[in-house]
Structure 1
Amino acid sequence: MGNRLLYLANGAQRISAARLDERFASEGMEVDIHWAYRDEFPDSLDGYTGIFLSGSPHGAYEDIPFILREHDLVREAAARGIPMLGICFGHQILASALCGRDQVFRRDGCEVGFKWLDVHPAASGDPLCRHLGARMHMFVWHNDEVRADHPDMRIIASSDLCPNQIWRYRDMPVWGIQGHPEITMVQARAWFESSRARLERDGADLDELMRTASEAEDAKTMLRDFAQLCRQ
């Protein structure tokens, strides 16, 4: 049984405060981190049973060498049927690579805060989302957005301001999550404080963020189920 996960780190730091590498490792995955932001990519996708794509300060529409290279990797992985999960920028570059670069756009304003998302019927029977209820709670923070009108997208969850918060590519094992299901309450407090200036510039109130924060346990089931899918 394979369990090797390619972790594409797209951020300015190789590992984020959420330590998703450790979460996936705790679920039985052998995590192979490549710092894509610094143009570190594997020579081959052979042997990987799953791919995780992290967030980034960049936009999926930017003509930056690592982003263009990652587009090619996503398309190759999809052709091979390798399961993929993207969060934030990862969600966006999956859409850009598989559904067209016009699918990702810059919003007029930032959506930021702990939001209640409406879960759609597409979640029923879905390998990652079948445990979600009619609504789910999750932290979101994004200035870029993925459109929700592409025929190859199954829209699984929406917010009041963003119709595509979670999506799946056709019936393939490929999912994008706009928000941040990985953040724990403890991590949230530290992350928000360290990002205070950017959050406030984007319209957030830190006191309100902590007042409305939750562990988002429903959302975290998607991470667990993705690891389980990759181990099969």
Structure 2
Amino acid sequence: MKIGILLTGHTPDELAPHYGNYIEMFKTLLSGQDFEFAGYKVVDGEFPASIEECDGWLITGSKHGVYEDHDWIPPLEDFIREAVTLNIPMVGVCFGHQIIAQALGGKVEKFEGGWAVGRQTYDFAGTEIALNAWHQDQVVEIAPGAVTIATNDFCKHAAILYGDRALTVQAHPEFSADFVDGLINTRGRGVVPEEVLEAAIDELDEATASQTIADQFADFFRQERPR
């Protein structure tokens, strides 16, 4: 099965030499799942020639907001709607979670409650799962027909399921603790409140369930679907 990874943002220049870009992070996250991968830098206007080029699509995180005026966002929303129409599975993470919601009729805002940074715990249908996060924007209204499948007190719609069409999460299973630490020092200082950053630093050594979510992504992609 071939998974196309749609890159919607770039790794900070200071971190890229060590960690690579988000395409590479997702390849690592999903390694061992017997997938092939193709990467497309949609943030730079590089889109697949056809939605049929891959068997499933994954949309990455980004420093950009889905509501911002970028020329690549409207065609990405069109791509999402086409995938839904053709029943080609999609996974979205952070920005990907938000852009899928927006494209399908949900609403995304800069959250008045502020930032979630570092290790967060979420209720996935009664199971507590910890994941690293980095966001201020949130899905505040889900799209018609969508179902919220994970939540916490800070993020109401932390994971969303769109039948067998799309599975999205707000947190970042692809982010290691070291990468979060790097983000704190390259993008966090002076932007995110210091108390939020310090709380994240205090929990950097705590375990997360990234592999659990990676397995869920893989199982979702491999579901049998009518076409």
Q: Same fold (TM over 0.5)?
A: yes
Matched ranges for 1:1-232 at <5 A = 3-13=1-11, 15-16=21-22, 19-100=25-106, 103-113=107-117, 114-120=119-125, 134-148=127-141, 150-169=143-162, 171-197=163-189, 201-205=191-195, 206-213=197-204, 214-217=206-209, 219-231=210-222
| Distance in structure 2 (CA, Å) of the matches to 1:210 and 1:17 | 25
Contact 2:167 2:220 in 1 (8 A): no
| Larger CA deviation: 65-74 vs 180-189 | 180-189
Contact 1:118 1:158 in 2 (8 A): yes
- The Cα shift of 1:64 comes to 1.6
Structure 2 counterpart of 1:124: none
1:19–1:150 CA distance, 2 compared to 1 (3 A) = closer
Q: Aligned partner of 1:165: which letter? A: A
- The Cα shift of 1:231 comes to 4.4
| Distance in structure 1 (CA, Å) of the matches to 2:160 and 2:45 | 27
- The Cα shift of 1:25 comes to 4.2
Q: Aligned partner of 1:105: which letter? A: E
Identity of aligned residues (%): 27
Q: Aligned partner of 1:181: which letter? A: P
1:210–1:226 CA distance, 2 compared to 1 (3 A) = same
| Distance in structure 1 (CA, Å) of the matches to 2:88 and 2:194 | 37
Task: State the TM-score, normalized to the length of structure 1.
Answer: 0.81
Cα-Cα RMSD:
2.3
Partner SS, residue 141 of structure 1: strand
**Structure 1, unpaired ranges of 5+:** 121-132
Structure 1 counterpart of 2:16: none
- The Cα shift of 1:28 comes to 1.8
Task: State the TM-score, normalized to the length of structure 2.
Answer: 0.83
Contact 1:119 1:136 in 2 (8 A): yes
